[in-house]
Amino acid sequence: MAGKITLYSDEKLIEEAKRYAKEQGTSLSKLTTEFFAQLARKRRAMKKADTPVTDALEGVLKGTEADEGAYGRYLEEKYL
End-to-end CA distance of the chain: 61
Its pTM stands at 0.54
Per-residue model confidence (pLDDT) at position 62: 72
Q: What is the pLDDT along the chain (80 residues), one digit of tens a residue?
A: 888 889 999 999 999 999 999 999 999 999 999 999 999 988 887 777 666 666 677 777 777 766 667 778 888 888 88
In whole angstroms, give the CA distance from residue 34 to residue 39. Answer: 9
